[in-house]
Chains A and B, each alone.
Chain A
Amino acid sequence: MNMRIFVPRDAAAVAVGADDIAVAFEQVATKRGLPVEIVRTGSRGLCWLEPMVEVATPEGRVAYGPVSPEDVASVFESMASNGPHKLRLGIADEMPWLKRQTRLTFARCGVIDPRSLDDYRAHGGYKGLERALSLGSDAILSEVTASGLRGRGGAGFPTGIKWKTVAQAKADRKFIVCNADEGDSGTFADRMIMEGDPFLVIEGMTTAGITVGATKGYIYIRSEYPHAVEAMNAAIVAARRGGYLGDKIGGSTTSFDMEVRVGAGAYVCGEETSLLESLEGRRGLVRAKPPLPAHHGLFGKPTVINNVLSFAAIPFILAEGAKAYADFGMGRSRGTMPIQLAGNIRRGGLFETAFGVTLGELVDDIGGGTFTGRPVRAVQVGGPLGAYFPRALFDTPFDYEAFAARDGLIGHGGIVVFDDSVDLRKQARFAMEFCAVESCGKCTPCRIGSTRGVETIEKIINGERVSENLALVEDLCNTMKFGSLCALGGFTPYPVLSALKHFREDFAPAPTTLQAAE
């Protein structure tokens, strides 16, 4: 039997040399005269071990990592002889970092060949859709509602209610739109699942389509993710060939098809109404709500617009039942959340777990602290619009409400870790700068407020009338928070105010002696 070697093709693995590793394995195998099959998978999400390669053994897949081109020959010998190696990590599924997780959405990611519909089906793919087709719209809606699934893009709106609204709307056409404009720094779960298990996203969108009576779907992927675009396009073609997209999907009487649309570098297009404008071929100007996209969405038609991770959670819920999903979690946050550990972190990557794990467990225990070895001083949770939390708040459980109660948000589940060299004044200024650059310009608090915010924080940095300017920034933040049309202007105050509140010492005026010296 051929040796089967698994090398990820995930962008994060490719960025640290996975393509070269795959080529090197082929060369070594040829030289040794041993037949091998190299399977390019997604990533398991243990990013600090990338490129992490695996070999199939009777006991399970054995992992090695991080593998550099110089290691390939010796790793290959270890694989062939089942012998020891300094990079040998043991059976992948038994690795503590993976074993501690509850992988419902990411169960197949890093395991299967994302280009193979057969591999997807062999690992339980399309079971959810098959059950959905037998259930019919009302029963699917009950399942999705009972699962407690809330929008994973960040807003946390109950998915079942959204779908029901569209299902009940009367229109000649309805649409399913997948928001894959994952622009938040520190988040990469959408990218990973699109690259590592694209059929899952297709299955989730297809299920939404049959539920609400939509026959056309769009997945809007940001242009910064060329690998994800390629993976989704390939999967759509394969799903069509396999009868899972197009007319009479999965042998039913229902039709659903979808296509990829690529963004063009505007962060604000991750806001759902801006995304719809962009899909329609216009400037990504945010729309006022109401009307909701569920009533008046893409091309004015009722539209389900959900994040990649929301759609990706659906197949499990349908296949295993709502209860199996809702049994995980805490409070009103049911199920699991793919959490992304990023920035200055020793063990960064994707960690899917039930809601309720604390921030401290995630950063210190699972993430292992910083890779620079310096103390963790701040973590930003939820992307550029998320709050900076100090160690004092590390007991916050990962839960929509618990973070909101502490003036933060979980957003799309990204956690960016900073060591003690961070200057929160700079980070606060960056938050305003980013908002100023990315503002769509439609509403004044966001468009003008962000620019005034940059200027005022700069004055603080320069030591000009610090306490007055601090008060001004706080006032400005309140105006932006309550007066902006969407989350860009509305949430930019989170990083700024949290920096002011929890890291006030960074904003203190410089000692007078220093000021005199200037």
Chain B
Amino acid sequence: MTAAFEPCYEPCYEPWDDTRGAEIIAEHASQEGATLVILHALQEAFGYVPEAAIPMVAQALNLSRAEVHGVFTFYHDFRHKPAGRHVLKLCRAEACQAAGGDALAARAEAKLGVSLGNTTADDRVTLEPIYCLGLCATAPSAMLDGRLVGRLDEKRIDALVAEAQR
């Protein structure tokens, strides 16, 4: 019998620590083209990529600070400061638009009092757009801290928002 897959979705991150940061960087630095791999690993550990880590990555990879900063800022995924306690991503691409996603996104924005791309004042919820979760035949879809939810309707989006606010 296959055990039920029950991962912990509550994001729990370490506080930034440069020794730990250096360790993470060293762990991946020998890979070819390691910049993205390292930035992902840092964000996975700390929840964001602290400013202080950029020169450390540059030094480890024999790159300039500007080059690493350039990579860091090019990609939507990387954060320069921690997100809210929960991250609610709403798919805003065409398939979800066709299935009524616009109204649901507006509803979530109104409930949370922030527009897409922002974090609530109490730092509880970051609301973000995402361009396609690949759940286009069970649209509209969302992701709350890594958990996928499809076939959203008003009831489901309200429940998700309430869960995120907890």
Contact = CB atoms under 8 A, between A and B. Distances in A.
B is a partner of A: yes
Interface stretch (B11-19, B106-114, B118-126, B128-136): B128-136
Interface of A: 9, 11-12, 14-16, 19, 22-23, 26, 36-40, 47-48, 50, 182-188, 190-191, 223-227, 261-267, 278-284, 299, 340-345, 348-350, 371, 380, 383-384, 414, 416-419, 422, 427, 430, 434, 438, 440
Given A15-B149, A185-B96, A342 B139 contact: yes
B78 interface: yes
A417 B98 CA distance: 7
Contacts of A261: 33, 36-37
B75 A343 contact: no
**Central interface residue in B5, B37, B39, B138, by most chain A CB within 10 Å:** B138
B131 A434 contact: yes
B35 A282 contact: yes
B1 A37 contact: yes
What 7 pairs between A and B have smallest CB-CB spacing?
A348-B137, A185-B93, A281-B35, A342-B136, A264-B75, A343-B98, A15-B150
Main secondary structure on chain B at its contact with chain A? loop
18 contacts: A15-B133, A15-B151, A22-B2, A37-B2, A39-B2, A48-B137, A183-B131, A185-B95, A185-B136, A186-B136, A223-B77, A263-B36, A265-B75, A342-B95, A342-B98, A417-B98, A419-B98, A434-B131
Contacts of A345: 137
Nearest to B39: A264
Given A264-B40, A384-B94, A16 B35 contact: no
Given A343-B136, A345-B137, A418-B98, A12 B150 contact: yes
Given A15-B148, A26-B1, A224 B133 contact: yes
B148 A14 contact: yes
A223 B37 CA distance: 12
Nearest to A182: B134
A83 B67 CA distance: 65
Given A26-B4, A438-B131, 19 more contacts: A11-B148, A15-B150, A38-B2, A48-B138, A188-B137, A190-B134, A224-B131, A224-B132, A264-B75, A266-B76, A278-B36, A279-B33, A343-B97, A345-B137, A348-B137, A348-B138, A349-B137, A414-B136, A416-B98
Nearest to B67: A282
Contacts of A37: 1-2
A430 B129 CA distance: 14
B88 to A, nearest CB: 14
Contact of A184 (B76, B78, B96, B132): B132
Contacts of A185: 93-96, 131-132, 136
A438 B17 CA distance: 33
Contact of B137 (A262, A283, A341, A438): A341
